[in-house]
Structure 1
Amino acid sequence: MTLRADAVLFDKDGTLFDFGATWDVWGGEMITFLAEGDAELEQAMAASARYDLAAKRFHPDSLVIAGTNREAAECLARVLPGRSLDEVEEILMRAAADAPLSQAVPLVPFLAQLAAMDLALGVMTNDTEYAARAHLQNAGVEGMFDFIAGFDSGFGAKPSPDPLLAYAISVNVDPGRCVMVGDSTHDLMAGRAAGMQTVGVLTGPAEAVELEPLADIVLPDIGGLTDWLLMR
């Protein structure tokens, strides 16, 4: 069996977990919670975060989609009186850990299949490491990864290649033998900058036409990754 790579690094939201079914729902709930019944404030936060209250989803250009937890907090705090940025960031971090997760594919058998191929596995998200570990633990897969990092883990945030290179060093694999799998241009830009192979998936807000210029292949979801890794 000949593989294209020795290590796979996944984004979390929109990649391991379907973005819309998880974060569109959560985003609406958080805006309602922080507005505390003030409809005008709810509208202001939705506009700042680029969230469509009627459709209950983030607009494709929302900074929240690929940004860090801090950047998401900044979107809300700038129009939210009476709460500091640090307070909003803390609220979002703790609430995100309990977000309603929707797995892109059944993760336990999928990751077990990759592990059986002797691939090192990692997660790098622009969410917090706290939320990432909570989500992976709730999905029963935290222990299946060799590396888990958030934007606050000390390696930086995507689209910088630094956290991806930290992963390659951690698993002792040349970046060229690593694959970055993600649903956003941030993910794939970071992968290209790190010298990694890149795979786009369509379980986030981005469309194929946005990902294709930065990806070696674009798949409907991570389920197709196994076949692509096998060089036939």
Structure 2
Amino acid sequence: MSPPPAIAGILFDKDGTLIRYDESWGPVNREAARIAAAGNAALEPVLLAAGGMDPETGKTKADSLLAAGNSAEIAEGFVAAGSPLNVADLTRELDALFLRAAEFSVPVADLPSVFSDLKARGLKLGIASSDNEKAIRRMAESSGIADYVDFIAGYDSGFGTKPAPGMMVAFCKAVGLQPAEVAMVGDNSHDMHMGRAAGAGLNFGVLTGTGTLQTLRPLADHCLEDITLIGDLLRELAAARPGLSRA
């Protein structure tokens, strides 16, 4: 068995990885459906179901439209499911909604503590999300991690969308690393596929979002309960590769 790669950077997904999905996005998804329904209350649960969220329980399926899609993809899905709005207008409305909601996100842990610890190890840190870039930056600022983050990309940043490798490739170029030196951390298959497509050194799946062991285990090198365990895992990997890992 080959030794684990030396990890010098970590690229995080946002929703379900840094912030708790159901608590943060449940109310937002309902508001998105309300906007898309344009006054037709009976259409709202139909749109939520089409997006992958159970209107009754509020649970969202792994890898569904609402779990992994960006604003434009969600708008297209809602229009296909019956929204009377056009895709371009609905996309703008959803982007504005997601930006407003960013500062009310519920973090999965003490994010400044986690990020400061990883940064102190000399790691480059980035966030790549299917949300819009302004919303990601607002979340980073409101949660107190903006100063620790070297790179932020959303679906509208010009690097492509998940599961294509563009955002990870851009992160690597921005911080001067090779993809094999980077770990991708996410809660959905889109994140894992992006890591694989870019040639990431490792994929870490976390269980704080919509993904499950069943959906993540085939694609992740390691599955963790949450991001607070990454530091310990990096120490274990460094011990298996003495003198080479910068973690």
Same fold, TM exceeding 0.5?
A: yes
2:100 aligned counterpart, secondary structure: coil
Q: Which runs of 5+ in 1 are unaligned?
A: none
1:129 maps to: 133
SS at match of 2:14: coil
The answer for the alignment partner of 1:5 in structure 2 is: 7
Question: In 2, distance between residues paired with 1:201 and 1:215?
Answer: 9
Alignment-mate amino acid for residue 222 of structure 2:
I
Moved over 4 A (4+): none
Percent of pairs identical after alignment?
A: 35
1:121 is displaced (CA, Å) by 0.5
Distance in 2 between residues matched to 1:12 and 1:146, nearest whole Å: 15
Contact (CA 8 Å) 1:25, 1:57: kept in 2 or not?
no
Distance, in Å, in 2 between the alignment partners of 1:138 and 1:75 is: 30
Which residue of the other structure, out of 207, 210, 213, is the alignment partner of 1:202?
207
In structure 2, the CA distance between the partners of 1:141 and 1:20, relative to structure 1 (3 Å rule), is same
Unaligned runs of 5+ in 2: 240-247
Aligned to 1:150: 154
Residue 109 of structure 2: aligned partner: 105
Structure 2: which amino acid aligns with 1:217? Answer: H
Contact 2:79 2:87 in 1 (8 A): yes
Taking the aligned partners of 1:165 and 1:228, their CA distance within structure 2 comes to: 24
Aligned length: 229
Alpha-carbon distance in structure 1 between the residues aligned to 2:121 and 2:62: 35
Contact 1:161 1:193 in 2 (8 A): yes
Displacement of 1:37: 5.0
* 2:16–2:210 Cα contact (<8 Å) kept: yes
- Please give the per-residue CA displacement for 1:57-103, whole angstroms capped at 9, x wherever unaligned: 3233521211111101112233122x221111111111112323110
Among residues 214, 224, 232, which one is paired with 1:227 in the alignment?
232
Deviation at 1:4, TM superposition (A): 3.6
RMSD: 1.7
Q: CA offset at residue 34 of structure 1?
A: 4.2
Correspondences of 1:30-45 after superposition (within 5 Å): 30-35=32-37, 38-45=40-47
What is the TM-score of this pair, normalised by structure 1? Answer: 0.92
Query: SS at 1:123's partner residue?
Result: strand
